[in-house]
Structure 1
Amino acid sequence: MKKIIACAVLLVLVLVIIVPALVVGGFNREPSSDRSENVAKGEHILIRVYLHEQNKIVEMNLEEYIKGVVAAEMPAEFELEALKAQAVAARTYAVKSMVAFGGSGIAEQPGADVSTDFRQSQAWQNETKLKERWGTNYDRYWSKISRAVEETRGQVATYNGELIQAVFHSTSGERTASAKEVWGFDYPYLISVPCNWDQKSPRYHDKKEFTLAQVEQILGPETQVVATMQNGGSGPAQIVSTTESGRVGQVRIGSKILSGAEIREKMDLRSSNFNVAIEDGKMVFNTIGYGHGVGLCQYGANGMAKDGHDFRQIITQYYTGVALKNIYAS
């Protein structure tokens, strides 16, 4: 009888305590130290995401993660085929970063493949943020973005069989920039190509004005902008050279020559595709485009979609010579 009671007690412990603990642990597990567990069989790839606002790493399904990226990186009002192109670019970027696929992950956050901080990786937003942002449009927009991700499930862009650096930006202007002219790295699929579809972008044109004193304060007194203006000559600002895509290579401001990228960063311009002039005693920068200009142009993708191009044509327009493959295919 005692043995029966002991067995009964043991059974109760198993059913009431141990089994529930295993179940709960299964749904709330911490990332494993075995990086090979990142990839499961079939279409259930897990990606380790550093949530920078919460300062923790979580695992989530790759496709669900991509939905949050597309929602954060591209306006949900865009055409479906443009959203599909963004999904392919975002998935390619993510998979290339994953340690399980040979990537390096996030160096600042050991154990994470990607970060939700756009300065480290791609932007990403959760359901709560999206509901705040979209309001009553949430259900419609989330359904649309989910469709874009599901209909491109597993699709990534490759060049000679290798995952590409799938960078993207908002608005390019007349041409995209090559990776070489922006970062000094030469990728055959990230070359300058025409972009005739983004002229309706609200970020296509921008204008910023600075007093000459402000310019000296930002760029340093050694520029001598005010003195150059007072002394006449060729003026306090002059573009010295342009890049292959028409962006500013070098520009002289006062007595100092800087790169277009430096001016963009220090003067907080939308792009390095600008001209500069003196108007009413102020230095005026007129820019075209928004972002670094390399790779997929998001407003260009939307324009192409409006013209009837599908996501495959959009991807191959902005990433020269690439092919699509499915990471879930055997």
Structure 2
Amino acid sequence: MKKPIIFLMGTMIFCILLPVLISVLFYGKVEIATSSGTTKKIVQTSEKDPYEKVDSTSPTISVYNCSTNKTEKMDIETFLYGVVATEMSSEFSEEALKAQAVAARTYIIYKMENNMTQGHNGAYICTNSNHCQAYASYNELKKQRGEDWIKESYPKIKKAVDDTKGHILTYDDKAILPLYFSTSSGMTENSEEVFSAQYPYLKSVSSPYEEQSPKYYTELKVNKSDFISLLKKNYSSISISSENLNKVVKILSRTTAGSVNIIKVGNKELTGRNIRTIFGLNSSNFDIEFNGDTVVFKVKGYGHGVGMSQWGAEGMAQKNYKYDDILFHYYTDTKIKDIY
């Protein structure tokens, strides 16, 4: 009599626990912090990527390789292996790398959709990071980073690209201009406050996980005489001397994210970007202090500040955000579209 009772009780317990086990294994609730400091729960209903709707051959693109001065035909996904490997650290989390892969792919499609071939010898994309995207081939990566990196890190880069094959970001069903940069000061910039061009998806948003970036805060110290010399070298008509610098150098306005917008220097009004360029600062978000014979720039962030912060993306990934959460946070009102 005892054995049937034990069997019945075991069956009941199994039936009760089975839904819980399925829930844990396949649905996974994650509690995360929002930009306002509150928390919310994201429920992952499936491990399958909901954006994978098309499964066709990836296209071949023309790439102007700046290191060889030649235009090469490449599979777009193969090209992206070399882009993501050079644009983002392989030590970053998988979801951050996937977000980077989608942004990099979207940039190529944006250039193609808008027929942007200027300076590329007829190609839509080049390998100059100052103009388009950084890139290194498999052999170049192997030579630069060694056999161990190829074995341990390259598969991680490749997987991030492969897992998002064909995915791009769109706004009004068109590829966006997916700008990105290294590190913000806690907020990203409105595009119109930095580049004078307004894009509805490049809005200022909070970026709360930046402190781990090695370039979140930096200082640059310049001798007063060098400070004045560099300014006069770039603006010959500027009137400024070492006396009372703290009175004739004033920050007049800042952007929404805190970067210097207009700064008065002697008899001239310059932009924060002007000062950043002259002194090689990491960003335009800075304060200036005058200590004796030294001018101290206290700088937050690294890069232009528009679009996706790469270190912010890494911080979000560490907080269990998925790559689409990251992308939708930094690129306002966008959607992911699978194009091949």
**Aligned mates of 2:137, 2:116 — CA distance in 1:** 21
- More divergent stretch after superposition (279-288 vs 45-54): 279-288
TM-score of the pair, normalised by structure 1:
0.82
For residue 207 of structure 1, what is the aligned residue in structure 2? 219
Cα distance in 2, alignment partners of residues 84 and 119 from structure 1 = 22
1 CA distance for matches of 2:248 and 2:237?
13
Q: Which amino acid aligns with 1:128?
A: N
Partner amino acid for 1:59? K
Going from structure 1 to structure 2, the CA distance change for 1:283 and 1:233 (only over 3 Å counts) comes to closer
- Offset of residue 60 of structure 1: 0.5
Q: Is the 8 A contact 1:106 1:120 kept in 2?
A: no
Identity between Structure 1 and Structure 2 (%):
35
1:74 aligns with 2:88: yes
Give the alignment of 1:43-82 within 5 angstroms: 43-82=57-96
Q: Is the 8 A contact 1:237 1:277 kept in 2?
A: no
Q: How does 1:51-130 map to 2 (within 5 A)?
A: 51-98=65-112, 102-130=113-141
Q: Give 2:145's match in structure 1, choosing from 114, 130, 134.
A: 134
Aligned partners of 2:246 and 2:290 also within 8 Å: no
State which of 288, 294, 300 in structure 1 corresponds to 2:306.
294
Matching residue of 2:40: none
C-alpha separation in 2, matches of 1:187 and 1:109: 24
What is the SS of the residue equivalent to 1:206?
Answer: strand
Of 237-246 and 57-66, more deviation after overlay is shown by 237-246
CA distance in 2 between partners of 1:285 and 1:249 (Å): 15
The alignment's TM-score, normalised by the length of structure 2, stands at: 0.80
Per the alignment, residue 270 of structure 1 pairs with 282
In the alignment, the residues of structure 2 paired with residue 252 and residue 210 of structure 1 have an alpha-carbon distance, to the nearest angstrom, of 18
Match of 1:176 in 2: 188
Q: CA RMSD in A?
A: 1.5
Shift of 1:76: 0.5
SS of 1:257's partner is strand
Q: Which runs of 5+ in 2 are unaligned?
A: 1-54
Tell me if structure 2 keeps the 8 A contact 1:208–1:286. yes
Paired residues of 1:176 and 1:245 also in contact (CA < 8 A): yes
- Counterpart residue identity of residue 56, structure 1: K
1:223 aligned partner, one-letter code:
I
Q: How far has the Cα of 1:46 moved from its partner? A: 0.6
Pair 1:45–1:210, CA change in 2 (3 A)? same
Shift of 1:233: 8.0
Aligned residue for 1:223, secondary structure, equals coil
Aligned mates of 1:300, 1:129 — CA distance in 2: 28
SS of the equivalent of 2:332 reads coil
Gaps in structure 1 of 5+ consecutive residues: 1-40
What is the rounded CA distance, in whole Å, between the counterparts of 2:245 and 2:288 in structure 1?
16
Instruction: Give the structure 2 partner of residue 223 of structure 1.
Output: 238
* Contact preservation (8 Å) 2:250, 2:265: yes
1:175-208, CA deviations, whole angstroms, 9 ceiling, x for partnerless residues?
0011100011111110100000111000111111
Distance in 2 (CA, whole Å) between partners of 1:69 and 1:170 is 15
